Amino acid sequence: MTEEKTNTANALPDIMSMTREELKEFVVSIGEKGFRAEQLFRWMHKGAPYEEMTNLSAAFIQKLKECAQYRLPIIEQKLVSREDGTIKYLMSLVDGECVESVFMRYEHGNTLCISSQAGCRMGCKFCASTLNGRVRNLTPSEILGQVSAATHDTGERVDGIVMMGIGEPLDNYDNVIRFLHLVSDEKGLGIGLRHISLSTCGVVPGIYALAKEGLPVTLSVSLHASRDDVRSELMPINRKYPIAELLAACRHYFNETGRRVSFEYTLIEGKNDGEADAVSLAKVMKNGMRCPCHVNLIMLNEVKETGLRSAGRRNAMRFAEVLKKNGVNATIRRKLGGDIEASCGQLRLRAKGGPQKGETEDC
């Protein structure tokens, strides 16, 4: 592990990053009965401030205030779509860094899109989150805190999670794994791992490591191109881990977990949206994957700074048709919250003063 700038503003133990067992030990160490840990665990995960923890004694809460760090992300901005009720949050962390989360209502339940880092160092050319590099990793409690804050704010259950907000989850591996254990604990939010998608730009060693964890999360891979020259231009990570290596890792993930891998493919005008690109993608999927997978076509959210344009809707439909004709399962992702800049990274970018300058990955 490299030393990095992290949440050091308060050096007290971060109790919301603790597992239930660790929390129990901590609670006992400050002189409280062990079973109180479970109550505290539940309250924190539901996003309750201390004042709402009505079954805990005032003396215990006072002790927690003195000996522990418990700080939920603060909702700085909340945009509600008039079209479909999608909510976009800008939340601030203890050091003033901001992240974004998006609450979406689907027929099958509520899904929250969350961030894993403040900024991103992967440098994908079309993405707003990476324009200023990565400032720091989020702690497990800061990742979980987004789910807790949204649960508390909406009063609704989050049924599923997509790690498709700001940051590269596999570039913050340990904290993300701990978060997955916490958020799925049935004494807390109890969100099923099968209802969690982890999206990666293609950090191959992280995919192999994840396959070993025994966590049945859905792996979602941002592919965006079927040829190495195009992918390397759009996504610098491809210079380190080219497509063939990436697909081998995805196949391994499927073989180990039995979970179908899904691929994101954002259609960018003149870059990857032609008929030949669709035929080439179908070939790569069939010959390279050779196991169940699914392609999600995404309309590019135009980020002014990148100069890239979205392919038209008609082009997207044609692209999907060609994939299907060539035997590849594909859908065009429905866009929610179109009126509130619901795609990630843009609010943070425009937040007061803008984000700090962060590091970039050398690929």
Applying CB under 6 A, the residues found at the interface with ligand SAH are 124, 126-127, 164, 168, 199-201, 222, 264, 266, 298, 300-301, 303, 343
Q: Between residues 226 and 266, which has the closer beta carbon with respect to ligand SAH?
A: 266
Active-site entry in 120, 127, 250, 344: 344
Q: Identify the CA nearest to 32 among candidates 351, 40, 78, 256.
A: 40
Classify residue 24 by burial, with Cβ atoms within 10 Å: 0-12, 13-18, 19+: buried
Considering the complex, what minimum distance in angstroms separates the CB of residue 125 from ligand SAH? 9
Considering the complex, what minimum distance in angstroms separates the CB of residue 210 from ligand SAH? 13
Considering the complex, what minimum distance in angstroms separates the CB of residue 120 from ligand SAH? 6
**What is the number of other CB atoms lying within 10 angstroms of the CB of residue 259?**
18
Q: Between residues 14 and 168, which has the closer beta carbon with respect to ligand SAH?
A: 168
Active-site entry in 100, 142, 168, 264: 100
Question: Residues with Cβ < 8 Å from 278, sequence gap 6 or more?
Answer: 318, 319, 322, 323, 326
Q: Between residues 64 and 170, which has the closer beta carbon with respect to ligand SAH?
A: 170
End-to-end CA distance of the chain: 19
Considering the complex, what minimum distance in angstroms separates the CB of residue 140 from ligand SAH? 17
- CB-CB contact of 296 with 262 (8 Å): yes
Considering the complex, what minimum distance in angstroms separates the CB of residue 57 from ligand SAH? 42
Identity of residue 60: F
Strands 109-113 and 98-106: antiparallel
Place of tokens 């133990």: 13
Q: What is the dihedral of CA 108, 112, 113, 119, to 10 degrees?
A: 180
Q: Is 67 among the residues known to form the active site?
A: no
Q: Between residues 132 and 200, which has the closer beta carbon with respect to ligand SAH?
A: 200
Q: Is 100 among the residues known to form the active site?
A: yes
Euclidean distance between CA atoms 288 and 274, whole angstroms:
20
Catalytic residues: 100, 344
